[in-house]
Chains A and B, each alone.
Chain A
C-alpha cells in the first residue's frame, strides 16, 4: 500500500488553521462590509434624504439610477478585487508552508 506524500506537520498545527481562517474571514468580511454599506445604506438614504434621491439625472431619479443600473458594476468591482486578493492570499499561504 502506497502512503500519500505527507505535507509538513506545520499544516496540521493549530496555529496554521487559526491564522488561515482569520485571514480569510478578514478578507471576506472586509469585502462584505463595503457591499453592506452600500446595500443597507441605500434604504437609509431613501428614508432620510428623499429629496436628494429624487433628483433627476437624464430622466431617472437618482435612487432609480443607482439601484436599477449602477449597482451591478459596483458589485462586479467588489468581486473582482476580492478574487484578486484571495488568490494572492492563497499563494502566500502555500509559500509560507512550503518554505
Chain B
C-alpha cells in the first residue's frame, strides 16, 4: 500500500462512501446553482419566487447544525432530562420570532440586522456597531460546527487526530465559499434538510425495531434511588439499578442493558429534572466543603440554583433564535408577509419533527453503548453517539450496521457543512461589504470587492478553523447555547425594542446592545477558559492560567451559573439600558419615526413601503 493511503487503514468503506458522496454532491450542487445567481442581490430577488415548501426546507436546513444533529443526542446521553430543553427551545425560538419580529422586519425590507439597524436609526455608525456582533456570534457558532467536523472525521478515519479533521473540513468549506460555490442557495439548503431528517430518523426506526422503542429504553432507568440493604453492597458504579418495573432490562428481552461506567450519571439524576447539567456548579461547590457539611449544603442550594440555571437557559435559547445572523436573511426570500408567516409555521413543523429523534439516540446509547461515557468530553465522548450507535446492528445484521452508520455520518456532514457555509457567507458578507466596502475603501471597484470577498472568506475560515482546534474538550451543544446567549443579549433586545417602542434612540440601542452582548460574551469566554484549563491534554497547559478560576467558582456556585448561563441577567440589563439611555437622549429620536413605525406595522396591502422609499429618495436630493 502506498504510504499516503496509510490513513485509510481501519476505514469502513460504507461509512466513507456515504460521507464522500454527501460532500461531493453538496459542493457540486453549490457550483451548479451558483452559475445561475451571480451576485448577492440576485440571491435576494430571485429568491422571492421560491415557494413556501422549498423556503421552509431551506431555512430548516440552514438552522439544523452539528449541535442539532450530534450535540443534542450527546448531551441527552451525558446529562439526561435537562438537555431536552435544548431541542424544545431551539424550536420554540421560531415561535417568538413569528410573534414579535418576523412580520414587521419583513415589511421593513431590511435584509440583515445591520441593514435594519441603519435603516431604523438613520445611522451608518450604528450599522458598524451592529456588524461587530455578526462576527462575535458567528465565531461562537462556528466553533461547535468545527468540533462536529473534527469528531466525525476522527470517527471515519480512526488514525487521524482531531485537529486534522477540523483543518480538512474547514478548508474544503472555506474554499467552496470563497470560490462562490455556496451563496446560501435555497435548493442546496433545502436538500440538506431532507438528508438530515432521513439520516436521523431511518437509523432510529431500524434500531428501535431491533432493540426496543424510546419508551422501553427509558423505562429501565429508575426514577427513585435504589434502596440500599444494610450489609449488602451498595449499588455503585458498574452495577445498573433496576428500572421502575424492577428489572434492569427490557421485559421482552429485546436488549440487555450494559452496566454503566463510573463516569456515567446515576439513573435517578439522569432521568429526573435538575440533573447533572444544571447542578454541576453546586455539586462542585459541595465537593469543596468538608464531608459532614455537604448534605445540608446540597439540600439548601441544589434545586433552587438548578431552577435558576434552567430559566436562564430557556431565555437564552428562545430569545437567541431571533438574533442569529444567518437566519433572518432567509425570511426575505418570501414573496410577501403572508407567505413569510406560512413559511415560519412550516419551519416549526419541519424542525419540530426532526427534534423528536436526536434524544432517542442518547437514550438508547445510554443503555447499549455506555462505554462512550469514559471519554466524556473528548472526541471519543458522547458527542459521537449518533455516528457510532448504528454500528451495533453489525453484530446481528453484518453490513447493515455500517450502512446506517454511513447514513448518520452523511447527515452529520450535511449538518455542519450547511450551517458553517451559511455562517461563513453572513460573516464574509459583513466583513467584505461593511468593513472593506464602506469603511476602508468606499471607492473600490466591483472587481476589487470580489477579491475582498474571497480574501475575507479565507480570513474568516482560517480564524474559525483555528478556534475550532481549541474546543475539543467542550460539548457541541453547550457551545451553540453560548452563541444563542450572546445573540439573546445583543440582537434580540435591539430588534424587539426597535420594532415595538418608538422612543428608542440610536444611543440607547447601541449602549444596551454593546453592554448586554459584551457581558454575555465575556461570561461565556471565562466559562470556556476555566473548563479548558481542566483538560488533561494540551489545552489544559495552554489555559492553565485560568485554573484558579475553578477554585473561585467552587466557593461561589451562583456566580458560576450566572457566567455559564448569562441570559437571565444580560437580557434584562440590555433592555433596561436601552430604555434609560433612550429616555435620556429622547431629543434624538429619528424625525420620521411615525412613518418608520407605519412601515413596520401597517399591512403591506396599503403600499406604505413604496411610498416611504420614494420619500426617502426625494429627500436625499439629486
Which residues of A are interface residues toward B (Cβ below 8 A)?
4-7, 11-12, 14, 17, 20-21, 24-25, 28, 31-32, 35, 39-40, 43, 46-47, 50, 53-54, 56, 58-61, 63-64, 67-69, 71-73, 75-76, 78-80, 82-83, 86-87, 90-91, 93-94, 97
Contacts and interface: CB of A to CB of B under 8 A. Distances in A.
Contacts of A91: 603
B602 interface: yes
Given A32-B96, A94-B605, A59 B88 contact: no
Interface of B: 81, 84-85, 87-88, 91-92, 94-96, 98-100, 103, 213-219, 223-224, 244, 271-274, 303, 307, 310-311, 314, 318, 337-338, 341-342, 344-345, 348-349, 352-353, 355-356, 359, 500, 594-595, 597-598, 601-603, 605-608, 610-611, 614
Contacts of A69: 356
Contacts of A68: 84, 87-88, 356, 359
Nearest to A35: B95
B219 A56 contact: yes
A50 B272 contact: yes
Given A20-B598, A24-B601, A28-B100, 19 more contacts: A11-B606, A14-B594, A21-B597, A31-B95, A31-B99, A43-B310, A46-B273, A50-B272, A53-B273, A54-B223, A56-B244, A61-B272, A64-B271, A67-B88, A71-B91, A72-B91, A79-B94, A83-B98, A83-B345
B218 A79 contact: no
B92 A47 contact: no
Given A20-B602, A76-B352, A64 B81 contact: yes
A52 to B, nearest CB: 12
B55 to A, nearest CB: 15
Contacts of B88: 67-68, 71-72
21 contacts: A4-B611, A17-B594, A20-B601, A21-B500, A28-B99, A31-B95, A32-B96, A39-B92, A43-B273, A43-B311, A46-B274, A59-B215, A67-B88, A68-B84, A68-B356, A72-B88, A76-B349, A79-B95, A79-B344, A87-B338, A94-B605
A75 B353 CA distance: 12
B611 A75 contact: no
Contacts of A50: 272-273
B52 to A, nearest CB: 12
Contacts of A78: 95
A12 to B, nearest CB: 7
Contacts of B595: 12
B237 to A, nearest CB: 23
A64 B597 CA distance: 43
B369 to A, nearest CB: 19
B214 A60 contact: yes
Contacts of B606: 7, 11, 94, 97
Q: Which of A25, A35, A59 has the most CB of B within 10 A?
A: A59
